[in-house]
Amino acid sequence: MAGLSVPPAPGAVDVNCYLGRWAFRPVTCPTVDTLLAELDRAGIAIALVSPLDGVLYKEPMAANRELAAQVSAVPDRLWPVCTLNPAFPGWERDLDECINSLRARAIRLHPNYHNYVLSDPRAQDLVRRSAAAGLPVLVAVGLEDVRMHHWLMQVPDVPAGDIARLAAAIPDACVIMTGATFAQVASLWRGGTPVPPNLYVELSRVQGPIGDIEQLCAHLGAEHMLFGTNLPLHEPAALLLALHYADLPDAARQRIFRDNALALLGLRSS
């Protein structure tokens, strides 16, 4: 190991980043400027940013509009991801607004915080329409360890198998599983759930066991793995260090840090 600093990942694309405040404790980077400072420190070029306040809003459009306004100042760095709740009436019109007015680059779902399941026809309809608009759909398994949730707000994680089945049911969609632990991702192959080709896994909460990244590569393939931070809740250095020291070919590392995300977003790596 060399030195006491974290090797940055120049040009990386962070597909799992939030902007805003978290109701349960202060965060270090709740504003655009503070978030950009964190991204700069890690060498991250582009971040897909979802509204953190929108996790707890029943009707998240107000958070989406605020997010879009905030990130519009740095359109080359922060790309808005809009959170929708298909269990709330009128989401179809909200989706149109997210695509046409708010310039969403992807759609975000929180089935656990918004109290629906991914087999709900409304959720599947939303994913189908997002796919038709060319937008990836990010589904958050969880935001933080359930063992430290607030006493009055214990929210179970979304089963990884539900997300895999959603992707399998809608093969035209690009489904990105975010905030899953290694055990949750591994539950797919250990439980015999097929991993569909249109399912991608973001890695910010993959923090063990030993050899976690290498095992995921072996089972999923590097082409299905994506770099993310889960900022402002999680520490970006965890995945930066894990990928830097993992026994991976450099080409696989580059795919995970950047190329896979750019391809999913319809862009080429420069």
Partner 1 sequence: MIIDMHVHTTAYEPDFTPQLREAEKYDARLVVAVLWPVGHRGEEPYDVSVEFFCDANQQALALCERFPERVRAWIYVNPAHTRQALAELERGLQHPAAVGLKLWVARRASDPCLDPLLELCAAEGVPVLQHTWVKTGGNLPGESTPEDLRQAARRHPRTLFIMAHCGGDWDYGMRAARDLPNVYVDICGGEAMRGWTERLVSAVGVERVVFGTDMPGRSFPSQLAKVLGARLSDDAKERILYRNFAAILQQRRRPGGAPWPV
Binding residues for partner 1 (CB under 8 A): 1, 4-6, 25, 27-29, 38, 144-151, 154, 205, 207-213, 231-238, 240-242, 244-245
The continuous run of DSSP H or E covering 108 comes out as: strand 106-109
Q: How far is the CB of 77 from partner 1 (least distance, A)?
A: 18
Instruction: Report the amino acid identity of residue 133.
Output: A
Instruction: Report the amino acid identity of residue 41.
Output: R
Work out whether strand 137-140 and strand 12-19 pair parallel, antiparallel, or are unpaired. unpaired
Q: How far is the CB of 86 from partner 1 (least distance, A)?
A: 28
Task: Please provide the distance, in angstroms rounded to a whole number, between the alpha carbons at the two ends of the chain.
Answer: 30
d(CA 81, CA 98): 9
d(CA 18, CA 231): 6
Q: How far is the CB of 152 from partner 1 (least distance, A)?
A: 10
Q: How far is the CB of 251 from partner 1 (least distance, A)?
A: 20
**Identity of the residue, 142 or 196, whose beta carbon is nearer to partner 1 in the bound complex:** 142
**Identity of the residue, 131 or 180, whose beta carbon is nearer to partner 1 in the bound complex:** 180
**Identity of the residue, 93 or 150, whose beta carbon is nearer to partner 1 in the bound complex:** 150
CB 7, CB 241: distance < 8 Å: yes
In 11-103, DSSP assigns E strands to 12-19, 44-51, 78-83
In 38-116, DSSP assigns E strands to 44-51, 78-83, 106-109
Q: How far is the CB of 154 from partner 1 (least distance, A)?
A: 6
Q: How far is the CB of 225 from partner 1 (least distance, A)?
A: 15
CB 229, CB 236: distance < 8 Å: yes
**Identity of the residue, 121 or 156, whose beta carbon is nearer to partner 1 in the bound complex:** 156
**Identity of the residue, 144 or 223, whose beta carbon is nearer to partner 1 in the bound complex:** 144
**Identity of the residue, 2 or 192, whose beta carbon is nearer to partner 1 in the bound complex:** 2
Listed residue (226, 254, 200, 199) closest to 47, CA to CA: 226
